[in-house]
Chain A
Amino acid sequence: MSAIDMLDLFSGGLSFLFTVLILSYLIGDNPLFRIAVYVFVGAASGYVAAVVFWQVLYPLLVLPTLSAIQSASLAQGLYVLMPWLGLILILMKVSSRLSGLARIAMAFLVGAGAAVTLVGALTGTLIPQFNATIDIFGGAVGKGGFELVELLFSGGVVLLGVISTLAYFHFGAHPKADGSMRRLAPVEILAWVGRIFIGITLGVVFAGVYATALTALIERISSLINFIASLFGMF
């Protein structure tokens, strides 16, 4: 048995063990499951720390700083100064007296993130989706027959789904004579239709989640079988 085979056997054994520990959750929360979770969390944390240092700090902060120092370039120095300044300011959170200084870096991060997210949502989701909803009917222009019917039906379903779903989340209402709060009748009808679309969507998502979980279970059971088969094949 070579070292590689031994490593595969060891890794296969750990994989089998932790798979069984995780599957033990089928009988409820138990120490075996917790042991597996703790091991995964600890290993993931250590791995993330190593990844952040080696894949973020080292290539984006350490190396540029060293390079700027070596080259004595003012431009590189100024370029590197900003990350260092942000790093120092965020580290001020450790001190209760100087934690206020961290707000500068955090404000920059939040502001930049909000701007990026907002612009991306507008240009990448809202406007394209709005145009797509309209363009369904535009695609039917010049077409006829079954294709036209199909496009009109598809566009009508999409339009109805969008409007009814938006109407479902319209919570504006007026008080009735008996004191109850009810929406307008058209809005109420559209909301009822929108509820159907939302239910179908949630059903599809549930089916996708089940398919994902089932695939993961199949893959894990297959790995167990393969590991056992390999053991028996080995021995």
Chain B
Amino acid sequence: MADLINCPVCGTENPSDQEYCRSCQAALAATEEGDASSIQPGQSPTKRQTAELEPILPQWLRDARDAARSTEPEDSNQAMPPQSEKTRPIASEDLLAGLQSQSGQDEDEDVPDWLANITGAQPKPKVEQQPETTGARWVEMGARDDFPSEDAAEEADMPDWLAGLQATQAQPEKDELTDIYNLTRSVNESLPTQPPAQEVPPEAAPHDFASSETPEWLRQMALDADERSATAEAGEQSAELPLDAPDWLSGLGGPGSESTFGESSAEVSEPAPAESEALDLPPSDMPDWLRGSAESEKPAQDTTPKWLREESGGASEPETPAWLASEDTVYLPSEPQQETPEQDALLVDLPDWLKAAAPNSSIFEQPAEQPTSLQETPEPSFDSPDWIKSLGATEASEDVPAADEEKSSPFENAPAFTPDLEGDENLSSLFTEMPDWLSNAIEPTETPSSSASSAPTPITSDDALAPSDLPSWVQAMRPVETGIVQPSLSSDRTLESRGALAGLQGVLPAVPGFAPTSKPKAISIKLNTNEEQLKHAGILEQILAAETSPVPMESYAALRTSRGLRWVLGFLMVVMIAVVLGLRMENFSTPLLAPNETRAAMSLVDALPPNAALLVAVDYEASRAGEMEVAVAPMFDQLMLVKQPRLTFVSTNEVGSMLAERIITGPLAEHNVSYVNLGYLSGGQMGIRAFVKDPVAAAPLSTSLQPAWESTTLTGISQFDQFSAVILITDNAEAARSWIEQTEDVRGSMPFIVISSAQATPMIMPYYDSGQVTGVVSGLYGGAIFEQYIGQPGSARTYWDAYSIGMLFALILVLGGGFWNLVLGWRERAAARGAE
């Protein structure tokens, strides 16, 4: 064993002279010597500003202080409560009570071991039931087998208590919090620290231990133990104690050790009894740092709990408290609340971290049956911590100086807390100072030479959370009070870079066994849906698909004329007209009754003075020339024959001047017509308006580029209202409207005759009805009437039979088509009714 060292990480055996594991490169020196940065027993934490903690002082501490003042000294032999009742306190109001409650609420989350040590939280039962497979687990969970056995022979040359401590320190790993605390302490030592609230005696300085000198208080404790053991040998209880007490307690020496044990146990586990016990102790049994406060508080009262009084009395139940008999120094019972209805009031107020510091097997293995097993088993049936074993073995086998015996059990003699005589200052010292024995016990591990030579250089980073920033009360509450440097299996100083632990170093140790041993559980990505949900999802998909899919537009079959039918009808129409025209048929009589508008036109023609100056506006398209000439010819024939008017042609259409010439050279060719063609009036209605206002300026020249107003035709005419009448020849209702509107205010009573196409007549008739138009001659029909009126058949009569046949043909087609459509509708409705 001296030549080989087991790697705490992988378990590989390595030569003792190697610093790192040859297999996993883990640090071996750190394992041996522990982390120099962890807090050590006897080391005084750096004093921090803890004034803010005063309002949240634990209730047990307040009660203890009050009890110390008010309670009368009671019999120290008061019966101790049954061990079965000593379980986890009910919601002790310690400083980390909130953590406990939180952990209790969230049962699924694993409570960190270090937090469990502090708060008294218990790991989940399932964790306890599972067999420990790795060293890290049993170290953190405190399994008894996980502590490496020490070789008594190797430590024969040193005091037992020191051997026990060294054996403990020789554990391969330490607790992370210890590491952090040691690191903090090392940093604080390098920096100028604030003086502690309570001065540590020079004897308690860490260098005492390094000098291998037994502290004075330990020597006193040893002497006192010897005296007590000598006086209690004859007692019955003293004979039974070795059976129930741990070996380390037995090693302290019989009855004397019993009382010492009881006292020390109370002192270690419970602060309030510790005060009374500390008062019972001789001043020499106390550490120097505790002595002063103990003496000042001694006459005050006895606040020893009942269970401790029974223990100290040793009358009926010399049982060792289960928590003292336990080998576990870390955990508290898992389900204490249901199993322990009654508890000592003072014990309830114990801080969890203190309870965690005290050995408590009942809360680790069998909380209820533990007292019975303790009574029946002469030897401790459980595996006490090695350091306790070492202490017991040393006391039993070797004749060790009393001082050494006292050193071997520092928890027994050193009260965890001193009486609160100085108020807040003592409270501060309570959390900031550490017993010198504890500091001495850990001091050797902090020697600069050893840490510098053997321990590997810790991985540091600026991003890491500085351990020195930990408040003093946290430093004090870390589980270094157990006196055992928890071996930490973690030599991994990996700096966490993400998550809640970002900035912390070595928090999550890389420990064998934590790696997954099997393939990760396959997680199905299939949605856990039922039939209804799938149905709804399908409906939603259909809706979305319908939104994006194009909707075909309803298209109706276009009504297309049948080409054959069109050809047939066209052929029939052309043939009928051609036959009628070719045969010169005059079977149809011309209209006998003239409409009012045509009669008005006839009357106007008759009323015109001879040689009257007539303004003729030619505003029709060339395509309508056939119709318009048929309508114009009879009327102008009548005029030429009767009145011999002077005609002045003007047009708002570009082809109007040409059509006017066509009229002159066509239907009126047989007449000697005096006319002037002014040609085209540009500007539409503005041109008409300009011509109406100033005809000479608007149309100064005729189409022959001669001065129109200087011709004989326009003699005496220079204004619009000087014309005898206005005759408008148009095939467009808009043109008729323009002429009517723009001449409305000028012409006055001037006759206004409109010779229009048949298609424009319906739109011109309102102006006739309103009196704005004197007479209307409409198309072939009006021409035929005028021909009949003058008694000279002309073109109208030639076209009249063809026109009549064409109108009849159209009438037949319209009526026939309507009848056929009606028949089709009946057939469809009959078919629909038959289908129903």
Contacts of B556 in A (CB 8 A): none
Docked Cα-Cα span, A128 to B570, in Å, equals 44
Are B770's CB and A128's CB within 8 A?
A: yes
User: Which residue, A52, A56, A208, has most C-beta atoms of chain B within 10 A?
Assistant: A208
A38 within 8 Å of B (CB atoms): no
A55 within 8 Å of B (CB atoms): yes
Given the known inter-chain contacts A47-B654, A216-B623, A217-B573, please indicate yes or no for A27 contacting B806, CB distance below 8 A. no
Are B626's CB and A219's CB within 8 A?
A: yes
Contacts of B806 in A (CB 8 A): 214, 217-218
Given the known inter-chain contacts A52-B682, A58-B705, A123-B745, please indicate yes or no for A219 contacting B657, CB distance below 8 A. no
A41 within 8 Å of B (CB atoms): no
Contacts of B625 in A (CB 8 A): 219
Task: Name the residue of chain A whose CB is nearest to the CB of B690.
Answer: A116
Identify B577's interface contact among A27, A28, A124, A218, CB under 8 A: A218
Contacts of B307 in A (CB 8 A): none
Task: Name the residue of chain B whose CB is nearest to the CB of A220.
Answer: B626
Docked Cα-Cα span, A23 to B84, in Å, equals 125
Contacts of B738 in A (CB 8 A): 120
Q: Nearest-CB distance from B813 to chain A (Å)?
A: 10
Contacts of B684 in A (CB 8 A): 113
Identify B705's interface contact among A59, A113, A131, CB under 8 A: A59
Contacts of A201 in B (CB 8 A): 762
Q: How many residues of B contact A (CB 8 A)?
A: 65
Are B803's CB and A225's CB within 8 A?
A: no
A30 within 8 Å of B (CB atoms): no
A60 within 8 Å of B (CB atoms): yes
Identify A215's interface contact among B683, B737, B770, B779, CB under 8 A: B779
A87 within 8 Å of B (CB atoms): no
Task: Name the residue of chain B whose CB is nearest to the CB of A122.
Answer: B741
A207-230, CB < 8 A from B: 207-212, 214-225
Chain A, interface SS category: helix
Contacts of A129 in B (CB 8 A): 766, 770
Identify B799's interface contact among A48, A51, A56, A222, CB under 8 A: A222
Q: Nearest-CB distance from B180 to chain A (Å)?
A: 76
Q: Nearest-CB distance from A108 to chain B (Å)?
A: 11
Per-position contact with A for B581-613: 1 when CB-CB < 8 Å, else 0?
A: 110000000000000000000000000000000
A171 within 8 Å of B (CB atoms): no
Given the known inter-chain contacts A51-B680, A125-B741, please indicate yes or no for A208 contacting B772, CB distance below 8 A. no
Contacts of A63 in B (CB 8 A): 700-701
Contacts of A222 in B (CB 8 A): 581, 798-799, 802
Are B810's CB and A214's CB within 8 A?
A: yes
Q: Nearest-CB distance from B60 to chain A (Å)?
A: 78
Contacts of B582 in A (CB 8 A): 225
Per-position contact with A for B642-663: 1 when CB-CB < 8 Å, else 0?
A: 0000000000001101100000
Q: How many residues of A contact B (CB 8 A)?
A: 51
Are B577's CB and A219's CB within 8 A?
A: no
Contacts of B537 in A (CB 8 A): none
B630 within 8 Å of A (CB atoms): yes
Docked Cα-Cα span, A52 to B627, in Å, equals 27
Are B624's CB and A216's CB within 8 A?
A: yes
Interface segment out of the listed B404-412, B752-760, B825-833:
B752-760
Docked Cα-Cα span, A125 to B802, in Å, equals 37
A179-234, CB < 8 A from B: 201, 204-205, 207-212, 214-225
Identify B654's interface contact among A23, A51, A124, A208, CB under 8 A: A51
Are B799's CB and A116's CB within 8 A?
A: no
Q: Nearest-CB distance from A160 to chain B (Å)?
A: 15
Per-position contact with B for A7-36: 1 when CB-CB < 8 Å, else 0?
A: 000000000000000010011100000000
Contacts of B766 in A (CB 8 A): 129, 132
A82-130, CB < 8 A from B: 112-113, 116-117, 120-121, 123-125, 128-129
Q: Nearest-CB distance from A113 to chain B (Å)?
A: 6
Chain B, interface SS category: helix
Docked Cα-Cα span, A204 to B766, in Å, equals 14
Contacts of B807 in A (CB 8 A): 210-211, 214
Given the known inter-chain contacts A214-B806, A222-B799, please indicate yes or no for A209 contacting B567, CB distance below 8 A. no
Are B689's CB and A124's CB within 8 A?
A: no
Are B627's CB and A212's CB within 8 A?
A: yes
Docked Cα-Cα span, A209 to B779, in Å, equals 11
A72 within 8 Å of B (CB atoms): no
A54 within 8 Å of B (CB atoms): yes
B636 within 8 Å of A (CB atoms): no
Are B731's CB and A52's CB within 8 A?
A: no
Docked Cα-Cα span, A201 to B733, in Å, equals 14
A66 within 8 Å of B (CB atoms): no
User: Which residue, B574, B581, B630, B759, has most C-beta atoms of chain A within 10 A?
Assistant: B759
Docked Cα-Cα span, A201 to B744, in Å, equals 25
A149 within 8 Å of B (CB atoms): no
Docked Cα-Cα span, A218 to B578, in Å, equals 8
B260 within 8 Å of A (CB atoms): no
B728-768, CB < 8 A from A: 731, 737-738, 740-742, 744-745, 757-763, 766-767
Given the known inter-chain contacts A123-B745, A212-B759, A220-B626, please indicate yes or no for A52 contacting B680, CB distance below 8 A. yes
A44 within 8 Å of B (CB atoms): yes
Contacts of A207 in B (CB 8 A): 758
B769 within 8 Å of A (CB atoms): yes
Task: Name the residue of chain B whose CB is nearest to the CB of A120.
Answer: B741
Are B654's CB and A205's CB within 8 A?
A: no
Are B581's CB and A28's CB within 8 A?
A: no
Task: Name the residue of chain B whose CB is nearest to the CB of A64.
Answer: B700
Docked Cα-Cα span, A178 to B631, in Å, equals 57
Q: Nearest-CB distance from B29 to chain A (Å)?
A: 89
Given the known inter-chain contacts A132-B766, A217-B573, please indicate yes or no for A212 contacting B731, CB distance below 8 A. yes
Contacts of A58 in B (CB 8 A): 701, 705
B679 within 8 Å of A (CB atoms): yes
Q: Nearest-CB distance from A51 to chain B (Å)?
A: 5
Are B760's CB and A221's CB within 8 A?
A: no
Identify B703's interface contact among A55, A116, A214, A216, CB under 8 A: A55
Docked Cα-Cα span, A219 to B738, in Å, equals 29
Are B630's CB and A219's CB within 8 A?
A: yes
Q: Nearest-CB distance from A139 to chain B (Å)?
A: 11
B780 within 8 Å of A (CB atoms): yes
Identify A211's interface contact among B685, B686, B737, B759, CB under 8 A: B759
Per-position contact with A for B451-464: 1 when CB-CB < 8 Å, else 0?
A: 00000000000000
Contacts of A44 in B (CB 8 A): 654-655
Docked Cα-Cα span, A23 to B772, in Å, equals 39
Are B700's CB and A60's CB within 8 A?
A: yes
Task: Name the residue of chain A whose CB is nearest to the CB of B574.
Answer: A221
Docked Cα-Cα span, A220 to B577, in Å, equals 10
B498 within 8 Å of A (CB atoms): no
Task: Name the residue of chain A whose CB is nearest to the CB of B629.
Answer: A219
B777-836, CB < 8 A from A: 778-781, 798-799, 802-803, 806-807, 810
Task: Name the residue of chain B whose CB is nearest to the CB of A25.
Answer: B570
Task: Name the residue of chain A whose CB is nearest to the CB of B697.
Answer: A60
Are B744's CB and A215's CB within 8 A?
A: no
Contacts of A216 in B (CB 8 A): 623-624, 626-627
Identify B772's interface contact among A52, A128, A211, A212, CB under 8 A: A128
Question: Which of B's residues lie within 8 Å of A, judged by CB?
Answer: 563, 566-567, 570, 573-574, 577-578, 581-582, 623-627, 630, 654-655, 657-658, 679-680, 682-686, 689, 699-701, 703, 705, 731, 737-738, 740-742, 744-745, 757-763, 766-767, 769-772, 778-781, 798-799, 802-803, 806-807, 810
16 A–B contacts from the bound complex (CB under 8 Å)? A47-B655, A54-B679, A113-B686, A124-B741, A124-B772, A125-B740, A125-B741, A129-B766, A208-B759, A211-B759, A211-B779, A211-B780, A212-B624, A212-B758, A215-B799, A216-B626
Question: Which of A's residues lie within 8 Å of B, judged by CB?
Answer: 23, 26-28, 44, 47-48, 51-52, 54-56, 58-60, 63, 112-113, 116-117, 120-121, 123-125, 128-129, 131-132, 158, 201, 204-205, 207-212, 214-225
Q: A128-B767, A214-B803 are in contact. List 9 more A-B contacts (CB 8 A).
A: A26-B567, A51-B654, A59-B700, A59-B701, A124-B741, A125-B737, A131-B770, A212-B757, A217-B806
